[in-house]
Amino acid sequence: MLAALTNGVPGIDADCGGACSCATCHVYVQEDWLDKVGDISPTEEAMLSLSTDRQDNSRLSCQIEITDELDGLVVTTPEFQF
Amino acid sequence: MSENSTEMRATESAEQSRWSMVGKDPWTMPIEKIDLSHPGIWHTNEFLPFLERLRKEDPVHFCAESAVGPYWSVTKYSDIMEVDTSPHIYSSEPTVGIIDSYEEYTLPMFIAMDPPKHDDQRRIAQPVVAPANLKRLESIIRERVCNILDGLPVNEEFDWVKHVSIELTTQMLATLFDFPFEDRYKLTFWSDAATAIPGAGVVNSNEERWAAMEECLQVFTGLWNERVNAEPGSDLVSMLAHGEATRNMPPMEYLGNIILLIVGGNDTTRNSISGGVLALNENPAEYDKLRANHGIIPNMVSEIIRWQTPLAYMRRTALVDAELGGKQIKAGDKVVMWYASGNRDEEAIDRANEFLIDREKARQHLSFGFGLHRCMGNRLAEMQLRILWEEIMQRFHKVEVVGEPERVYSSFVKGYTHLPVRLHPLN
């Protein structure tokens, strides 16, 4: 999430600033990366479950910690952030 | 006016002066006596220094005695976030209002529910205001805005609240519910009746409020009966009537959710519409910025919503003992998140006490709340405000405030009953 914000990438709103509290940093993780981005916490799951555009590969990008292993990670953004 | 309501007014006045904080010095009075719940200082616009003192000296503050009983005031942004995002500790049941209403007057609505029931019901209503649906509403909204603005008197004084703020939001509500357009004022009345303090100008008693709620239920039951057997439509009533989790709901729950959706879309948006005009007038350099760059409008909308904070607080009830800001909260305690305070917390928001339409991170404010209960109408509210200001800037050099605003008598609804303005057209 922070990477998008600080580099002016549009489509991620991050209203709560990364606190897993607003679900406006919603992204779709490309299938082959899905098991590499970490587990979904109950809090993240609760927020995601209310999203109308939720898919199997949905994540809140503020909960994905970027490491060197994620170099090359591809995500797409939903048409809208709620 | 009946005998009863005159008595009620006399009682109200006595109550008002007993608990009112109006005229007290926020910095020298004993801090334990500060009581934010009483509407007095909100009505007179004196509340800010009380919030500031609490943030500085007692951010998680216990008020032992008030007209609404004992309660905690949470005034800093970070503590408010903690409460808002901890529904397993701080419950939204039985009510998010500061008054502990009697059971027969409490309507079940998902704003005042915890998971799992909350999630089931919210999931049903949410699609009606999802951004994809909003895109379809944009042209109707713009049409309505243009219609209203083009009908306004120019170069003469009128009340912006009545002719723009209330008119626009009422029309929007009617659209969302596919409510008979000519009866749309009932939506405003029911919404105001649901949240008003008896005696403050909308209803004179709880009995009157209840009568209004019964009428609302009657009318909406009629709409439900019409639509339940028809094809599912994209209006709120149809969604509730066809949704898996809501189609069997008891009448009181249906009424509660209807009221929630009307209230949610009613005075909040209304008061942001008024608040934006006032803020620009009080900060003329910002109005200049707006004239120079209409592209700033979406950012300005977020700043207006932060600045106005249309709902001053949301209340929670502790389910278990917990520590907050170094204080010990006991199970059963009433905990009040003062969004109106958190939004002015300089430790969380840069230059928080300045109205800056081009500020960075303008969306990072508390007015919509955070967590599971975050306002689901937030994008709709923003869209209405954005379109309104886009069209205002096409027509008027200035919406000038020409008299003192009158504020709502409430510590919950933070808004305006009157805002005298004069329109100056573009040359």
ipTM of the complex: 0.89
Optimal mutation site among A12, A26, A50, interface B, most CBs of chain B within 10 A: A50
pLDDT at B314: 98
The backbone torsions φ and ψ at residue B154, rounded to the nearest 5 degrees and listed phi first, read -110, 140
**Smallest CA–CA distance from A54 into chain B, residue:** B123
- Kindly tell me the burial class for residue B242, based on how many C-beta atoms sit within 10 Å of its own C-beta (0-12, 13-18, 19 or more): middle
A19 and B85 within 8 Å at the Cβ level: the answer is yes
Optimal mutation site among A2, A45, A52, A77, interface B, most CBs of chain B within 10 A: A52
Q: Which tokens sit at B57?
A: 């000296």
- Per-window interface: B 118-147 vs A, CB < 8 A: 119, 122-123, 126-127, 130-132
Using the Cα atoms of residue A41, residue A43, residue A45 and residue A51 in order, give the sign of their dihedral. negative
pTM higher than 0.95: no
B234 touches chain A (CB under 8 A): no
pLDDT at B292: 98
A81 touches chain B (CB under 8 A): yes
Q: Are B172 and B269 in contact (CB under 8 A)?
A: yes
Choose among B127, B364, B376: nearest Cβ to A15. Answer: B364
- Kindly tell me the burial class for residue A52, based on how many C-beta atoms sit within 10 Å of its own C-beta (0-12, 13-18, 19 or more): middle
Out of 1.20.1260.10, 1.10.630.10, 1.10.1040.10, 2.40.160.40, select the CATH number for domain B3-425. Answer: 1.10.630.10
Per-residue pLDDT of chain B (427 residues; tens, 9 = 90+): 343 444 444 445 555 578 999 999 999 999 999 999 999 999 999 999 999 999 999 999 999 999 999 999 999 999 999 999 999 999 999 999 998 865 555 678 899 999 999 998 888 778 777 777 788 788 888 999 999 999 999 999 999 999 999 999 999 889 888 999 999 999 989 988 887 777 878 888 888 988 998 999 999 999 999 999 999 887 888 888 888 777 888 888 888 888 888 888 898 999 999 999 999 999 999 999 999 999 999 999 999 999 999 999 999 999 999 999 999 999 999 999 999 999 999 999 999 999 999 999 999 999 999 999 999 999 999 999 999 999 999 999 999 999 999 999 999 999 999 999 999 999 7
Give the C-alpha separation, B425 to B423, whole Å: 6
Q: Are B348 and B233 in contact (CB under 8 A)?
A: no
Choose among A20, A21, A50: nearest Cβ to B119. Answer: A50
Round the average pLDDT of chain A to a whole number and report it.
90
Choose among B119, B127, B371: nearest Cβ to A21. Answer: B371
Size of interface A-B (CB pairs under 8 A): 54
pLDDT at B353: 98
C-alpha distance from residue B212 to each of B4, B193, B196, B425 (Å)? 18, 7, 12, 41
Residues of B whose CB is below 8 A from A46: 115, 119, 372
Amino acid at B53: R
Q: Which tokens sit at B40?
A: 């007095």
B364 and A13 within 8 Å at the Cβ level: the answer is no
Give the C-alpha separation, B226 to A55, whole Å: 34
Q: Are A74 and A46 in contact (CB under 8 A)?
A: no
Question: What mean pLDDT comes out for the span A52-59?
Answer: 91
pLDDT at B63: 98
Domains by residue range for chain A, with CATH: 2-76 (3.10.20.30)
**Smallest CA–CA distance from B83 into chain A, residue:** A21
**Smallest CA–CA distance from A5 into chain B, residue:** B361
The full set of domain ranges for chain B reads: 3-425
Report long-range pairs for A34-42 (Cβ below 8 Å, ≥24 apart). A36/A69, A36/A70, A36/A73, A37/A64, A37/A70, A37/A73, A38/A63, A38/A64, A38/A65
B359 touches chain A (CB under 8 A): no
pLDDT at B7: 43
